[in-house]
Amino acid sequence: GEVTSALLYLDDVSVTFDGFRALNRLSLSIGANEMRAIIGPNGAGKTTMMDVITGKTRPNTGTALFQARHDLTRLDEASISQLGIGRKFQTPTVFDMHTVEDNILLALKTDRRPFPVLFSKRTREEKERIDALLERVRLTASRHRSAGELSHGQKQWLEIGMLLAQEPKLLLVDEPAAGMTDQETADTADLLREIAKTASVVVVEHDMVFVRDLGVKVTCLHEGSVLAEGSLDAVSANERVIEVYLGR
């Protein structure tokens, strides 16, 4: 059934902050190699949902299973990251003073301190992995520049490349298109589609043009639960979604 086939399975998840229900019996499944867009007005619970999946917030009640066997409600953030769940926040956290390729190298070696990593010889395998990751995130031509010199969009891709170095099975991405040019936005949609060939991707996004470009199933959250789910056309034609977005 759904429990066993889904990569991520949330059922009846509630999170309460001081009596306020940020998530209210939320149920949602993400399949293997599925990309899903999560939309919903401010305060709908999108961030709280990501916090539950990554172990930053513990739900009061409900089920959160990864690969049908890992209970995310009982694991800490580090263990969840080890399972292959990566999260990209809106603000990139790259090392500005280091080159693009050194940022990728550091991401490949999270178990080691920066100095030994940067001053030791790269193995042939490391070089190949760095090359492949740079190619994937379209930064091969910028590999020797310091990360601080990159455009906003390129920094976002670099951070995505650093997350891909961990070979995630599920990548959570918070508003990747925010602040990007139209061309960068289109390239980001291509990049995420490409990533979804080997991993599942959950994208929280406000930019509906970008969501349309992604062309994936959409889940609209409101007041901590799923208001509507389906194609963007179906969701945006839903009466309740229209009411929520128009604030009536």
Contact residues toward ligand ADP (CB under 6 A) are: 17, 20, 22, 40, 42-48
Shortest reach from residue 27's CB to ligand ADP, in Å? 16
Please name which of 246, 199, 222 lies closest in space to residue 36, comparing C-alpha atoms.
199
Please name which of 139, 130, 186 lies closest in space to residue 158, comparing C-alpha atoms.
139
* Distance (Å, whole) CA 166 – CA 82: 9
Shortest reach from residue 137's CB to ligand ADP, in Å? 26
Q: 22 vs 189, which CB is nearer to ligand ADP? A: 22
* Distance (Å, whole) CA 222 – CA 243: 11
In sequence order, what are the residues at sequence separation of 6 or more whose Cβ sits closer than 8 angstroms to the Cβ of residue 7?
A: 30, 31, 32, 34, 66, 67, 169, 170, 200
Shortest reach from residue 47's CB to ligand ADP, in Å? 3
Q: 17 vs 89, which CB is nearer to ligand ADP? A: 17
**DSSP label at residue 97:** T
Q: 71 vs 89, which CB is nearer to ligand ADP? A: 89
Q: How many residues does the chain have?
A: 248
Under 8 Å between Cβ of 56 and 141: no
Calculate Rg over the CA atoms of the chain.
Answer: 19
Shortest reach from residue 132's CB to ligand ADP, in Å? 33
Q: 45 vs 92, which CB is nearer to ligand ADP? A: 45
Shortest reach from residue 221's CB to ligand ADP, in Å? 6
Spell out where the chain has E strands.
8-17, 20-30, 35-39, 61-66, 70-71, 85-88, 170-174, 200-204, 217-222, 225-230
Under 8 Å between Cβ of 101 and 144: yes
Q: 14 vs 166, which CB is nearer to ligand ADP? A: 14
The encoded tokens of residue 37 equal: 């867009």
Shortest reach from residue 185's CB to ligand ADP, in Å? 21
Shortest reach from residue 171's CB to ligand ADP, in Å? 18
Q: 40 vs 92, which CB is nearer to ligand ADP? A: 40
Q: 21 vs 122, which CB is nearer to ligand ADP? A: 21
